Amino acid sequence: MADQTLGPDASRPAKRVADSRTIVTRNVTESDMNGQGRLFGGRLMEWIDEAAGIAARRHCGGNVTTAAVDQLVFHRPAFRNDVVVIVASVTHVGRTSVEVRVDSYVEDIATSRRELLNRAYLTEVYVGEAGRPTPVPFSLTFSNDAEQDEWRAAEQRRRRRAQDRDEA
């Protein structure tokens, strides 16, 4: 498909999903492991938060803060010396926030095959220089149907989060 921009304000200049995609590769070391010899869930969460923050800063062009992390499910463990690959992609742009999907994998270095450890959705708020929520200067351009489908699914997730906040 041809590049297409969607969003609450498609008149904003747009960036492609690929422009801010962030890939971080980590080697699981002794200090990343718990007493059972597995990667700490908290360490993976730190790496996820870091990758999402970089992708969001790249998209927004300035400072962001993490407002929320959706449910985190760990699908499989990682062990010492495993290569963990973390891929963060902006999936949606709101008024002052962006949603970032972060997929974490363990990579088999012999075959390059990756197994999913975790998929997380984070809401990052653009806070600009003032440290307050600030309109995101860039909308999002999709280069394929999957990116567009992800945007539509993100709109549902935004509605659900807002409803959860109202109920809370």
Ligand X SMILES: CC(C)(COP(=O)(O)OP(=O)(O)OC[C@H]1O[C@@H](n2cnc3c(N)ncnc32)[C@H](O)[C@@H]1OP(=O)(O)O)[C@@H](O)C(=O)NCCC(=O)NCCS
Positions that interact with ligand X (CB under 6 A): 65-68, 94-97, 123, 125, 133, 161, 165
Nearer to ligand X, 76 or 160 (CB): 160
Give the residue closest to ligand X by C-beta. 94
Q: How far apart are CA 104 and CA 18, in angstroms?
A: 17
Q: How far is the CB of 86 from ligand X (least distance, A)?
A: 18
Q: How far is the CB of 134 from ligand X (least distance, A)?
A: 9
The edge-to-edge listing of strands for the beta sheet with 14-16 is 4-6, 139-142, 14-16
Place of tokens 């708020």: 125
Q: Are 75 and 38 in contact (CB under 8 A)?
A: no
Q: How far is the CB of 20 from ligand X (least distance, A)?
A: 16
Nearer to ligand X, 4 or 63 (CB): 63
Nearer to ligand X, 22 or 123 (CB): 123
Chain centroid offset of residue 73 CA = 15
Q: How far is the CB of 94 from ligand X (least distance, A)?
A: 2
Q: How far apart are CA 75 and CA 66, in angstroms?
A: 23
